Amino acid sequence: MAVAWSVPHFTYVGMDVSLNNKREFSLLTRMSYTLNAFAKFYLEVFDAFGWTDIANIYDPDEYLSNLIGTSFQASFQALAIHIHSSEIHLRQKTEDIQSEILRVIRKASSVSRVFIVVCHGDVFRQMVLMASEILPLGDYVFIFFFQFSGDFPIGEYHWARGDLLDQTARKAYESVMVIRPRRPVTAEFEHFEKEVKRRSPIEYNYTWQDGHEVSLFNIAQYDSFILYALALNETLAAGENPRNGPIVVRRMWNRTFEGIGGPAYVNANGDRDTDFTLLDLNPNNGEFQVVAQYLGWTNHFEFMSGVNIHWPGRGATPPNRPSCGFNGELCVDASLQPSAIVGISIGAVIVVFAVIAGLVYRRTKAEAEIYSQWWRVRSEDITMTTQSSFFSRRSDGTMVYMRKPKVKSISVDRAFMLEMKQMRDITCPNLTRLIGVCPDTNNVCILTEYCSRGNLQDILQNESIQLDWDFKLSLINDIVEMDADGLKGSETNFFSTTESPPLKC
């Protein structure tokens, strides 16, 4: 309607993000604060302390709490992708509020140690007290949303209630910070606040309660008249039509002016950049004090000079994540239950026995192979099949090559049988394979694989086989290398008393 009538439109609330669209609401000027601006101040605080994992706790069933909580969540996602904000719903009107608060704390602490809370101050106090009993002191921080004293949906942020829990609450509130719109401190504003409270019962039949503040909304109403008067006078001075809404509004946006609480800035979107403050509890006097502020007209976040932030417990800013993780998943408990110790002991004994059994089995198998009589051949099992004394046949019909060493007997001891096993284990296509040994006295012989073409000497002496000099030189080189290796590694054993077994051909 204001756009249709070409009338400038002021509002001292209008916090909803849908009103950010100034193409549709082209003549709307918001003079208090927007939730988007509030969220920006939260982000300034997060970045200042290095916090990126946030638990956003609010009541979805209460209008103001839901409006603020959902708006913060949307703003964080839109303005800061590095912030991971988890929504935690708190049902303030449940019958068992203690169980509800306990559930919320456990869920929130599983994803964060920075808890931003929008709820009634009395519920918040119970939450802070319960958290102090569950979570390690100094390991977490609460940040409470607050508008002004006398705001009924929010209540009061202070710890004092005049009950038996006050002293415990005072200590627990050392882990609490409060974010609120900045309250002006000029003498002009003090006079303004007194006048508002004095005139209210006379002109509006309203009496301010003790401790209730003249809020930012009251300031926004007053500053609306100041801003409109400035723009109207400038429009008239320029000779332009004062009833042309867009012309007047153009002179109100993107400018700084002197309001009742000090300098105020209305940005290019027609929204006031509100001043905000961060409050922390002074443990010496139990009162909250301003430790940081954001001035909208300078667009600057700063910590207050000469004012220290009190961090309980560790004496330093709570880390974004505890050293052991939110659920202790990064630390291993070195202590073991008795059942675990018994289980580990039994498992260790089983493993030791298994290793011993394996070693015993391997040794037994190796000894059995050493003492095996696979190599023994009796004299009667050897049958000559040709006129050559070097070829014979075992009773099973295997053709072998027989060699008789110049010994009458051999000692069949462990060393001999170990050598037999080693000879059996040697498998190479270029070496003749040992078939067996006949240890009979006066008839000792060695049986090896039969080579149909004879041994190397037979080939070299066979005039029918023509060998070129490249092949001969290669054979000579191999023989020389074999002899050299044999001299280097010669050992006194059974085969050292015999001729070398023939190479395969």
CATH number at 296 reads 3.40.50.2300
Residue pair 450/382 in contact (Cβ under 8 Å)? The answer is no
Residue 352 CB-density burial (10 A; 0-12 exposed, 13-18 middle, 19+ buried): exposed
What is the number of domains present in the chain?
A: 3
Q: Assign 111 a pLDDT band (cuts: 50, 70, 90).
A: very high
130-144, 389-403, 419-433, 486-500: the lowest-pLDDT one: 486-500
Q: Could you give the angle at the alpha carbon of 79 between the alpha carbons of 77 and 85, nearest 5°?
A: 35
* Residue where a domain terminates, one of 321, 346, 370: 370
Query: Domain check: are 85 and 51 in the same one?
Result: yes
Q: Assign 498 a pLDDT band (cuts: 50, 70, 90).
A: very low
pLDDT beyond 90 at 221: yes
Q: Is residue 57 one of the residues assigned to a domain? A: yes
Query: Domain check: are 49 and 174 in the same one?
Result: yes
Query: Domain check: are 139 and 285 in the same one?
Result: yes
Q: Which amino acid is at 50?
A: G
Residue pair 133/177 in contact (Cβ under 8 Å)? The answer is no
According to the model, what pLDDT value does residue 502 have? 46
Mean pLDDT within 73-98 = 94
Query: Domain check: are 175 and 54 in the same one?
Result: yes
Going by DSSP bridges, is the β-strand pair 114-118/141-145 parallel, antiparallel, or unpaired? parallel
Between CA 40 and CA 450 the distance in angstroms is: 95
Closest CA to 432 of 450, 453, 446, 418: 450
Between CA 275 and CA 92 the distance in angstroms is: 30
Q: Is residue 66 one of the residues assigned to a domain? A: yes
Q: Is residue 384 one of the residues assigned to a domain? A: yes
Strand partners for 28: 9
Residue 396 CB-density burial (10 A; 0-12 exposed, 13-18 middle, 19+ buried): exposed
Q: What is the CATH number of the domain that holds 389?
A: 3.30.200.20
Query: Domain check: are 366 and 458 in the same one?
Result: no
Query: Domain check: are 360 and 440 in the same one?
Result: no
Query: Domain check: are 325 and 345 in the same one?
Result: no
Q: Is residue 150 one of the residues assigned to a domain? A: yes
pLDDT per residue as tens digits for the range 339-356: 778 888 888 889 888 888
Q: Assign 333 a pLDDT band (cuts: 50, 70, 90).
A: low
Between CA 70 and CA 222 the distance in angstroms is: 29
Mean pLDDT over each residue of the chain, to the nearest integer:
86
Q: Which amino acid is at 16?
A: D
Between CA 174 and CA 138 the distance in angstroms is: 9
Q: Which amino acid is at 153?
A: P
In the structure, how many helices (H) and strands (E) does the chain have? 13, 17
Give me the residue label for tokens 């946006």.
Answer: 253
Q: Is residue 505 one of the residues assigned to a domain? A: no
What's 416's DSSP letter?
Answer: H
Q: Is residue 223 one of the residues assigned to a domain? A: no
Residue pair 42/20 in contact (Cβ under 8 Å)? The answer is no
Query: Domain check: are 365 and 491 in the same one?
Result: no
Q: Which two tokens stand for residue 487?
A: 């001299």
How much of the chain, in percent, has pLDDT values that exceed 70? 90
What is the residue range of 462's domain? 379-497
Query: Domain check: are 398 and 456 in the same one?
Result: yes
